[in-house]
Structure 1
Amino acid sequence: MNAYRFDPARAIAIAATVLTLAITGCASPSHERDLQSNSAASLDAAINGPQRASRARARDVYRHPRETLQFFELNPAQAVLKIAPGGGWYADILAPYLRDSGQLYEAQYISTSPDLAREDNATDSEYRQKLANAPAVYGKVVVGTLHRGEFQGFDANGKFDRVLTFRNIHNWVKDGQLDANMHAFFGALKHGGELGVEEHRARPGTSLQRMIDSGYVTEAFVIEHARAAGFVLSASSEINANSKDTKDYPNGVWSLPPTYKGGDIDRARFAAIGESDRMTLRFVKP
């Protein structure tokens, strides 16, 4: 069962917006039900669309895209910034979902390490080509980059309703860029906008070096650094939890699917565990 923990400060952060909607009549119960119904139908259509490969669909059982995006309170009219899209697993859902009424922006992360930056630039080029090859699905997607806490390729000043990042925090911790990126996300969001975070979850008390080595990050660490950037924790969910994940593998989180860094060694055991135990957090910009 999903567990949600709400921060009372969020009520203060968005009270003015709620009051305005109520006064104008836009927040009537029937109107809200219609919006939620339309959003859910659009999301289901995107998740079940032909643009998604069977290999991507096979991961839905671990990644729970419908429940995760609903937890992040997405609707198809929003401006959404997705960080580090990689091969576009979530873009395959978000691009058609937001195409008609909203806008999807993607920021490929470029590492501060010269060697990794070359790999990141290659990934960026491949991703842009993927989008260019299917304009009917991805033609409205705007792609830029994130490097040293700065966005390039689009205006990101107070522009977005949502900023989303999936399983990237550990890379930024290793790269020394977590705080710079958190501040960039804060600046990119509108007031009342939300940051959605999914990340491999370490046991409480895990050392910083162990987090870097294993790819698992403590929930407290993420919350601490988000708050330092100005965010307020709005809610957390166990949507992407996995109690089978013991988090003590020789190759860290990369021992598990889909990476299987150890090759055939203990592969059946790791396949039975499934993908990692993950925190799912929602923060608001007051």
Structure 2
Amino acid sequence: MKPALLTLTLAALLAPVLAHAADTQAISSERYAEVLKGTWRAPQNGVRDAYRHPQQSLQFFGLRANQTLIEITPGAGWYSELLAPLLKDQGTYIAAVQAPSVSDSARKNEQTLKEKFAASPAQYAKAQVVEFDPKAPVLGKPGSADTVLTFRNVHNWVLADTAPLMFESFFKVLKPGGVLGVVDHRARDGASLDEIKHSGYLTTAYVVKLATDAGFKLEAKSEINANAKDAKDYPEGVWTLPPTLTLGEKDKAKYLAIGESDRMTLRFVKPAK
């Protein structure tokens, strides 16, 4: 009985210390505001904050200043502009990009991202870029990341039939207890995969299945990035809406009034055991 009592006592004594340590790594609202107004951000990107709710999304995913975070296929670096500065002092930001040999778009995206990093060394000097093959993805040393985030990419992997491999790679690179955060265009519940595969939308149930099949547990859902105006039935799929506006000037005012897509926001966890 005495050893158990001692263990309990030590745990009780350490709990406030550990809680304080976690609190000191929390990112303040003031710091978020500073980064969101950063002069290094592309002018057009700040306009999209109203649709992407970056502060609320990152808080929902549990971002802390001292984390090792991998962002999967960040494109031109919309979230890189926020994540790299938020993590530069105590944490590590890693942009995982498809190898340039995969496609011309992959090559251009990596070049654009590296140019962005080089243009603002005060914000991006510590940012890292890792390349991966989507058909055999390796994102880093197993168990090396605290958080993996991906924004509006799962539908592309589903179309390319690489989604299961990608989710398995997330599971491998995360530490036990690590978080996977997913944002993607949300189809109506019950829609079949064949019906929506080329639309850019996915059902929440399908994305949850991809994650849980890889070993994750769904920890929470959020409506942060919901848009009730999105009817999800457009001639060119989700790309009909802004920012892509594939139809050009045709019905442009209509689609601008709808805004960006309705999106699921999901937080998964890699079980501790």
Report the TM-score when normalising by structure 1.
0.86
Post-superposition offset of 1:27: 3.6
Q: Give the direction of change, closer, same or farther, for the CA distance of 1:101–1:20 in structure 2 (3 Å limit).
A: farther
Corresponding residue for residue 65 of structure 2: 76
Corresponding residue for residue 123 of structure 1: 109
Corresponding residue for residue 39 of structure 2: 50
Corresponding residue for residue 161 of structure 2: 176
Amino acid in structure 2 at the alignment position of 1:252: G
Q: Does residue 277 of structure 1 match 2:266?
A: no
Which of structures 1 and 2 has the larger relative contact order (alpha carbons within 8 angstroms, sep 6+)?
1
Determine the C-alpha separation between the residues in 1 that align with 2:62 and 2:11: 19
Determine the C-alpha separation between the residues in 2 that align with 1:165 and 1:20: 35
Corresponding residue for residue 139 of structure 1: 125
Post-superposition offset of 1:126: 2.3
Identity over aligned residues, as a percent? 44
Q: Does residue 26 of structure 1 match 2:5?
A: no
Deviates more, 1:65-74 or 1:102-111: 102-111
Corresponding residue for residue 238 of structure 2: 253
Corresponding residue for residue 162 of structure 1: 147
Post-superposition offset of 1:98: 0.3
Post-superposition offset of 1:46: 1.4
Q: Does residue 214 of structure 1 match 2:199?
A: yes
Determine the C-alpha separation between the residues in 2 that align with 1:63 and 1:149: 30
Determine the C-alpha separation between the residues in 2 that align with 1:80 and 1:172: 20
Post-superposition offset of 1:24: 5.0
Corresponding residue for residue 237 of structure 1: 222
Corresponding residue for residue 150 of structure 1: 137
Post-superposition offset of 1:229: 0.1
Determine the C-alpha separation between the residues in 2 that align with 1:139 and 1:194: 25
Deviates more, 1:48-57 or 1:195-204: 48-57
Q: Give the direction of change, closer, same or farther, for the CA distance of 1:126–1:33 in structure 2 (3 Å limit).
A: closer
Amino acid in structure 1 at the alignment position of 2:238: V
Determine the C-alpha separation between the residues in 2 that align with 1:278 and 1:190: 27
Corresponding residue for residue 223 of structure 1: 208
Amino acid in structure 2 at the alignment position of 1:134: S
Determine the C-alpha separation between the residues in 1 that align with 2:23 and 2:95: 30
Q: Give the direction of change, closer, same or farther, for the CA distance of 1:162–1:275 in structure 2 (3 Å limit).
A: same
> What do the CA deviations read for 1:132-187 (whole angstroms, capped 9, x no partner)?
222121111110123224236xx332111100000000000001100000000000
Q: Give the direction of change, closer, same or farther, for the CA distance of 1:40–1:78 in structure 2 (3 Å limit).
A: farther
Check the 8 A contact 2:25/2:65 in 1, yes or no: no
Determine the C-alpha separation between the residues in 1 that align with 2:252 and 2:228: 18
Determine the C-alpha separation between the residues in 2 that align with 1:146 and 1:22: 44
Match of 2:197, SS state, is helix
**Structure 1 residue aligned with 2:181, among 196, 200, 206?**
196
Q: Give the direction of change, closer, same or farther, for the CA distance of 1:158–1:21 in structure 2 (3 Å limit).
A: farther
Determine the C-alpha separation between the residues in 1 that align with 2:24 and 2:112: 39
Post-superposition offset of 1:121: 1.7
Post-superposition offset of 1:103: 0.5
Structure 2 residues not aligned, in runs of 5+: 1-9
Post-superposition offset of 1:125: 1.9
Determine the C-alpha separation between the residues in 1 that align with 2:151 and 2:16: 35
Determine the C-alpha separation between the residues in 2 that align with 1:259 and 1:25: 49
> What do the CA deviations read for 1:88-132 (whole angstroms, capped 9, x no partner)?
000000111000000000011359xx8x62321222122212212
Determine the C-alpha separation between the residues in 1 that align with 2:126 and 2:166: 25
Determine the C-alpha separation between the residues in 2 that align with 1:99 and 1:83: 18
Q: Give the direction of change, closer, same or farther, for the CA distance of 1:95–1:271 in structure 2 (3 Å limit).
A: same
Q: Give the direction of change, closer, same or farther, for the CA distance of 1:32–1:151 in structure 2 (3 Å limit).
A: closer
Determine the C-alpha separation between the residues in 2 that align with 1:171 and 1:164: 15
